[in-house]
A and B are shown apart, each in its own frame.
Chain A
């Protein structure tokens, strides 16, 4: 069945001449740039070539998925999309029931790497919610309530892992399609009030270390060697970077391990320390440019499903960036949230690339 590559490209071009031209190469370029930059930063933060290699392998896997999906026909996949959230729910339950010595149950150990079901959930929940809400020409109120119910259930499953940061993201990934698809404003207000009223309940259910993080955030110097350490050290890293940074591999805060978790959640501190204010602005521009291109795809499409999936993903992408960086510079409490495409972590990277792939596939039917 092997084919001559030249023959393949020729034949594919012959059959569907718009297939390659219609691709959003800029988005692909931006993703590859971000991922490559992320590998550089992981190397700088960890000094471990092995870690870079592992992440590189995930990146390649993600890239294959992304490119494959970007050429797929999403409409034919809709029946599948409608039901993928079951897979997510399944894994979330699995991670909760399998015995573990660790205090948190976020990972399923697959030997070569740890799989994080919560990351999968925020992807499949959006897709299923969008498919569910757009399966009929008109959305009835019951549809929204079903999606909200499933979202809250998913949120709960992640929350009890416990992983507050991702749980919030999972909730957003299910709720946002509801909001974008025209959920009445009056109900939105009721929802807001409900959330506000439930805050004390959530606070009570937070673990001690999570509460401590929030408390320390308001006064890092109260515990400079404990919880406040992360905030103080990452601020020093960012602040000492200046306009242009200390240079690649020259960030003393990161190189000498003063910044904790510098290859995962605090990788932004490494970027800021080594590339300075201008590096930060450049990185933000890339994210915004990426978001803008994806918004264009959503805007140009006539399909609700497309708008809901793309819209939710873009919102999540920018929310991740905003929350993660806000936490690093010390304007939000520390919650476990990776920086998309940069932080070390296989599941999030592959999931994000799959999402990009799915959104890119919308272009073809826009």
Chain B
């Protein structure tokens, strides 16, 4: 046998080596490809490998808390279970949303609406969208049972904004919501997918409250599972705000507005700090912050009474007679009248060559009227006459000096109000300025509009003897006091006129003829002025007929400050369709003074 397997056969070795060239050649090609991958394209693959494993996560800061002046917590962050969706991970999303709404017993329309609004907004890839907040235990349990069916959906705990006192500070604090795309550029702290302040302090101070995003660089494995933290850049929590609002005063005054539309501003004239700010009717901001019911939210939006509207800073009202002290100062400063000038008030005022009467509120008139009496008894004829003499050329700049017609720069959303002039009238109404327009301006009517905060600021100028102080709601930011800011000083030719006009305003309450004599108090002295703003002209109709419709009844106004000589608080009250400044508005202010001044003793 051995023999058969022996024998020299060199050709086999040669053939073998020939065949081996094939795999060796292939190995050489592999080596070339390896060089191609590592050396020539190494950088690219290195980057891809890093991108594979590294994920940069945003760390969301906690939003700053908000306190009142007595350090009572007004807004906090509370944990809430929310339904999140990562659209990139889900398929057939709309159908799944409908299904999950069914399973969790949530409003389908709410989820779809939220999703459709959110999906249009800029987002980081794989950033979750919050579809519903404040899930209850039952919903969480239902979700975990069927979570397998809903790829991309998850229930996570997040923080939601919660207003402690529900309605009482709704307009001051505002509410949170998902911002519109336009807001993205405005706010450096826009966190996509997270909520932003839509109104009130939440909006004005959004940047400070929201803090600074942090980032955490994490390593993940192929399934996206967290492996370890590579580096971390901590988030900076939002700053806490201390408002100047006195929650006790606020809550004391709110019941006076029960069932009424109106606004109240209470501020410290010297500092401009707002102590109470009421707009009625109000709403519960928590419905926006955490509710998952579309119907609930829509009911607020569709309410005819406009609960979202902050009347105290955005409501445009005619200032009516509350403007008279300022017009008095204007007339004095321009030399139209002095304190001894007497005007005969028989209830009507006529312009030469015009048979149309300008009626005063008191049919028989006030008789012989000087400036003090004109303010105390609120003579319309006196101010028709002075306004007529002043003309719009002098009226307009003087009113503007007191801040009418422009924003007060309070840290809330506000309207401009309106001080009309010839140019404005021609542009907007398309008519020339009539003398009668100036006359109407004399009693704060006509085209003039002002916000409650503007009137408050203007009257505070009298209390401050010409100093214009910017009103503000925030007293401290992270325990650092905010600055008192003077917006300028109004100089009168005769500086004693400040005190003299204030004296007239004291007599409004103290004099038995004063329009607000009903709130006279022997313990402290109040300076103030009532106002009754017509909202419907009654030239052609009898006033009594107009009164039949409550929506056409006059607005009742009162503005005053106390105690003299060192005023601590200025209060302005507007009651829409309240008819009488003295009967309806003044007693509310009085109650506020009583409460605040006694409390501070």
Give me the 3 closest cross-chain CB pairs, A-B, nearest first: A239-B45, A318-B23, A240-B49
In which size bucket is the chain B interface? 35 or more
CA distance A37 to B8 in the complex (A): 39
Closest-by-CB residue of A relative to B10 is: A299
Q: How far is the CB of A5 from chain B (nearest CB, A)?
A: 34
- Are B20 and A239 in contact, with the CB atoms below 8 A? no
Chain A residues within 8 Å of B223, by CB: 257
Chain B residues within 8 Å of A322, by CB: 23-24, 26-27, 30
Query: Given A239-B46, A252-B49, A305-B5 in contact, is the A277-B39 Cβ separation under 8 Å?
Result: yes
Q: How far is the CB of B42 from chain A (nearest CB, A)?
A: 5
User: Is B6 in the interface zone, CB < 8 Å from A?
Assistant: yes
User: Is A238 in the interface zone, CB < 8 Å from B?
Assistant: yes
- Are B52 and A258 in contact, with the CB atoms below 8 A? yes
Q: Which of A276-309 contact B (CB under 8 A)?
A: 276-277, 280-281, 284, 287-288, 291, 295, 298-299, 302-305, 307-308
Known contacts A256-B52, A322-B27, then 17 further A-B pairs from the complex at CB < 8 Å, ordered by chain A residue? A135-B5, A179-B15, A180-B15, A182-B12, A236-B45, A239-B38, A239-B44, A256-B221, A288-B27, A298-B13, A302-B7, A303-B7, A304-B5, A307-B16, A315-B16, A319-B23, A331-B29
User: Is B1 in the interface zone, CB < 8 Å from A?
Assistant: yes
- Are B29 and A256 in contact, with the CB atoms below 8 A? no
CA distance A176 to B22 in the complex (A): 13
> Of A75, A179, A238, A284, which one neighbours B38 at CB under 8 angstroms?
A238
> Of B7, B11, B27, which one neighbours A137 at CB under 8 angstroms?
B7
Chain B residues within 8 Å of A331, by CB: 29-30, 33
- Are A135 and B4 in contact, with the CB atoms below 8 A? yes
- Are A304 and B16 in contact, with the CB atoms below 8 A? no
Chain B residues within 8 Å of A135, by CB: 4-5
- Are B4 and A256 in contact, with the CB atoms below 8 A? no
- Are A134 and B30 in contact, with the CB atoms below 8 A? no
> Of A237, A304, A311, which one neighbours B7 at CB under 8 angstroms?
A304
In which size bucket is the chain A interface? 35 or more
User: Is A329 in the interface zone, CB < 8 Å from B?
Assistant: yes
User: Is B409 in the interface zone, CB < 8 Å from A?
Assistant: no
What per-residue 1/0 map shows which CB atoms of A174-213 lie under 8 Å from chain B?
A: 0010011110000000000000000000000000000000
> Of A236, A243, A291, A305, which one neighbours B48 at CB under 8 angstroms?
A236
- Are A277 and B227 in contact, with the CB atoms below 8 A? no
What per-residue 1/0 map shows which CB atoms of B522-542 lie under 8 Å from chain A?
A: 000000000000000000000
User: Is A314 in the interface zone, CB < 8 Å from B?
Assistant: yes
CA distance A329 to B31 in the complex (A): 9
> Of B13, B15, B31, B49, which one neighbours A280 at CB under 8 angstroms?
B31
CA distance A188 to B4 in the complex (A): 26
CA distance A238 to B8 in the complex (A): 46
- Are A243 and B38 in contact, with the CB atoms below 8 A? yes
Chain A residues within 8 Å of B26, by CB: 319, 322-323, 326
CA distance A137 to B8 in the complex (A): 11
- Are B12 and A181 in contact, with the CB atoms below 8 A? yes
- Are A321 and B27 in contact, with the CB atoms below 8 A? yes
CA distance A134 to B9 in the complex (A): 11
User: Is A78 in the interface zone, CB < 8 Å from B?
Assistant: yes
Q: How far is the CB of B11 from chain A (nearest CB, A)?
A: 7
User: Is B220 in the interface zone, CB < 8 Å from A?
Assistant: yes
User: Is B17 in the interface zone, CB < 8 Å from A?
Assistant: yes
Q: Which of B5, B19, B42, B222 has the most CB of A within 10 A?
A: B5
CA distance A237 to B48 in the complex (A): 9
User: Is B56 in the interface zone, CB < 8 Å from A?
Assistant: no
What per-residue 1/0 map shows which CB atoms of B26-60 lie under 8 Å from chain A?
A: 11011101110111011011101110110000000
- Are A277 and B8 in contact, with the CB atoms below 8 A? no
- Are B7 and A315 in contact, with the CB atoms below 8 A? no
Closest-by-CB residue of A relative to B51 is: A236
7 of the cross-chain contacts (CB-CB < 8 Å) are A179-B15, A180-B19, A239-B46, A240-B49, A258-B222, A322-B27, A325-B30
Closest-by-CB residue of B relative to A246 is: B49
Q: How far is the CB of A145 from chain B (nearest CB, A)?
A: 19
User: Is A338 in the interface zone, CB < 8 Å from B?
Assistant: no
CA distance A291 to B19 in the complex (A): 13
- Are A318 and B38 in contact, with the CB atoms below 8 A? no
What per-residue 1/0 map shows which CB atoms of B214-226 lie under 8 Å from chain A?
A: 0000011111000
User: Is A70 in the interface zone, CB < 8 Å from B?
Assistant: no
User: Is A241 in the interface zone, CB < 8 Å from B?
Assistant: yes
- Are B39 and A243 in contact, with the CB atoms below 8 A? yes
User: Is A253 in the interface zone, CB < 8 Å from B?
Assistant: yes
- Are B222 and A318 in contact, with the CB atoms below 8 A? no
CA distance A319 to B19 in the complex (A): 10
Query: Given A239-B44, A256-B52 in contact, is the A136-B12 Cβ separation under 8 Å?
Result: no
User: Is A242 in the interface zone, CB < 8 Å from B?
Assistant: yes
Closest-by-CB residue of A relative to B22 is: A319
Chain B residues within 8 Å of A179, by CB: 15, 19
Q: Which of B185-224 contact A (CB under 8 A)?
A: 219-223
**B interface majority secondary structure:** helix
Q: How far is the CB of A46 from chain B (nearest CB, A)?
A: 13
Closest-by-CB residue of A relative to B12 is: A307
User: Is A359 in the interface zone, CB < 8 Å from B?
Assistant: no
Closest-by-CB residue of A relative to B30 is: A325
User: Is A272 in the interface zone, CB < 8 Å from B?
Assistant: yes
Q: Which of B31, B35, B50, B52 has the most CB of A within 10 A?
A: B52
- Are B16 and A314 in contact, with the CB atoms below 8 A? yes
User: Is B599 in the interface zone, CB < 8 Å from A?
Assistant: no
CA distance A305 to B50 in the complex (A): 53
CA distance A331 to B34 in the complex (A): 10
Chain B residues within 8 Å of A325, by CB: 27, 30
- Are B30 and A252 in contact, with the CB atoms below 8 A? no
- Are A256 and B23 in contact, with the CB atoms below 8 A? no
User: Is A235 in the interface zone, CB < 8 Å from B?
Assistant: yes
User: Is A330 in the interface zone, CB < 8 Å from B?
Assistant: yes
Chain B residues within 8 Å of A78, by CB: 1, 5
CA distance A291 to B23 in the complex (A): 11
- Are A240 and B221 in contact, with the CB atoms below 8 A? no
CA distance A326 to B37 in the complex (A): 12
Q: How far is the CB of A310 from chain B (nearest CB, A)?
A: 8
Query: Given A180-B15, A256-B52, A326-B26 in contact, is the A239-B1 Cβ separation under 8 Å?
Result: no
Q: Which of B8, B27, B38, B221 has the most CB of A within 10 A?
A: B38
Q: How far is the CB of B586 from chain A (nearest CB, A)?
A: 74
Closest-by-CB residue of B relative to A259 is: B222
Query: Given A239-B44, A243-B39, A252-B52 in contact, is the A75-B5 Cβ separation under 8 Å?
Result: yes
Q: Which of B315-341 contact A (CB under 8 A)?
A: none
Chain A residues within 8 Å of B17, by CB: 295
Q: Which of A47-106 contact B (CB under 8 A)?
A: 75, 78
User: Is B493 in the interface zone, CB < 8 Å from A?
Assistant: no
CA distance A315 to B22 in the complex (A): 9
- Are B37 and A329 in contact, with the CB atoms below 8 A? yes
User: Is B2 in the interface zone, CB < 8 Å from A?
Assistant: yes
> Of B34, B48, B49, B222, which one neighbours A277 at CB under 8 angstroms?
B34
Q: How far is the CB of A268 from chain B (nearest CB, A)?
A: 9
> Of A181, A256, A272, A305, which one neighbours B53 at CB under 8 angstroms?
A256
CA distance A311 to B17 in the complex (A): 8
CA distance A233 to B1 in the complex (A): 56
> Of A239, A256, A277, A326, which one neighbours B41 at CB under 8 angstroms?
A239
> Of B12, B35, B37, B38, which one neighbours A304 at CB under 8 angstroms?
B12
Chain A residues within 8 Å of B30, by CB: 322, 325-326, 329, 331
CA distance A148 to B506 in the complex (A): 123
Q: How far is the CB of B8 from chain A (nearest CB, A)?
A: 5
CA distance A318 to B21 in the complex (A): 10
Query: Given A236-B45, A238-B34, A240-B49 in contact, is the A303-B27 Cβ separation under 8 Å?
Result: no
